[in-house]
Amino acid sequence: MVLVTELTTKLGLTVPVVQGGMQWVGTPPLASAVSNAGGLGILTALTQPSPDALRKAIQKTRTMLKPEVANRCSKYGAIGVNITLLPSINPPDYPGYAKAALDEGIRIFETAGNNPGPVIKILKEHGAYVIHKCTTIRHARSAQKMGVDMLSIDGFECAGHPGEDDIGGLVLMARAAEELKIPFIASGGIANGQQLAASLALGADGANMGTRFMCVKEAEIHDNVKEVMVKSDERDTIHIFRTLRNTARVYKNKVAVEVVEKEKAGCKFEDIRHLVSGERGRQVYVNGDIDAGIWTCGISVGLIHDVPTCDELVQRVGKEAEDYIHKLASLSANKSSNQSGREARL
């Protein structure tokens, strides 16, 4: 059995799994390994300090792709680039990052964040395939009007920013299936094949996994962080910035707890800026000090029990999904068989 969905057909994947863009994590070794394994690997644009640095990262990633991957993949190519637009007084050069990636031949993009319209317009003018991540159905409808090709429906379980509506993926995906006219993939809290099968049953065409791909051998994260993730469970995350209406789910370490306590006391962002700086968070991944800063982590950490290679993980997720789909199909077959038996006895 091979899982065939809109995602696999359009992008030439063998398993309907996307490695979501993650700050400091979506680098060439990980993105190339996911694509080599049959999923969609994604480079995170803002991990690179400039558009020119992104160009070099794209070039490096291509040298790490297996030759057969290019033949397998669609006209859109074998890798994608994530561009997340964040609220900022001095925003990065988002159009510059988009144009740099386009110049390097990238035609698959994952977008997310505030006011994505101008960037999406640039990408679509160059024939790109755009997957836009949303945490609400109303935002998904807006992105649909902007002309994106696919949506990534991000539930409350996710790492990073889940929005302010607190809607879990189970309901959010069912609502997406009711409301949307374009395909979508499931995102947030997904780490195994059982959840991929469930996502497909809810109308999704695949799954986006972020936290799970932090804990693979190719992820450029200190081994101590991966060991901590394997030992953690679904209770080991916490929300910060709730009082600032910019909620973010992160790993529950000493710094995150301190931030939440300061928020409860009525702090302003300036009071916690030094605690939540991106550079401090990056040092967690570089040095392995779990309490060095804030680092994002979803509740799917409770489903992470090992540190496989990307190939091992992607193939396992695909096989598990197929097995669960067969199991569900057998429920219907057994019902038909039991019904036939009862009719025969009558």
129-161 pLDDT per residue, tens? 999 999 999 999 999 999 999 999 999 999 999
Q: Which domains does the chain have, with CATH numbers?
A: 9-221 (3.20.20.70), 237-296 (no CATH)
Does pLDDT of 336 surpass 90? no
How much is the pLDDT for 70? 79
How much is the pLDDT for 86? 86
Place of tokens 């962002």: 269
Does pLDDT of 1 surpass 60? no
Does pLDDT of 100 surpass 90? yes
Ramachandran quadrant class, 113 (left: phi over 0; alpha: psi -120 to 50; beta: rest): left
Strand pairing report for 79-85 and 237-240? unpaired
Does pLDDT of 246 surpass 60? yes
Helices (H) and strands (E) in the chain, counts: 15, 10
C-alpha closest to that of 227 among 313, 301, 282: 301
* 62 confidence band (pLDDT: 50, 70, 90): very high
Taking a C-beta distance cutoff of 8 angstroms, is the pair 209, 190 a contact? yes
Q: State percent of the chain over pLDDT 90.
A: 91
Does pLDDT of 304 surpass 90? yes
Does pLDDT of 75 surpass 90? no
Mean per-residue pLDDT for 32-58?
A: 98
Strand pairing report for 17-19 and 207-209? parallel
pLDDT tens-digit series, residues 4-20:
999 999 999 999 999 99
* 335 confidence band (pLDDT: 50, 70, 90): low
Taking a C-beta distance cutoff of 8 angstroms, is the pair 109, 80 a contact? yes
Mean per-residue pLDDT for 63-74?
A: 88
* Average pLDDT of every residue of the chain: 94
The distance of Cα 169 from the centroid of its chain, to the nearest Å, equals 13
How much is the pLDDT for 342? 56
Mean per-residue pLDDT for 247-252?
A: 97
pLDDT tens-digit series, residues 197-217:
999 999 999 999 999 999 999
How much is the pLDDT for 74? 74
C-alpha closest to that of 101 among 149, 148, 45: 45
Sign of CA dihedral 27, 32, 34, 35: positive
pLDDT tens-digit series, residues 265-293:
999 999 999 999 999 999 999 999 999 99
| pTM confidence score | 0.94
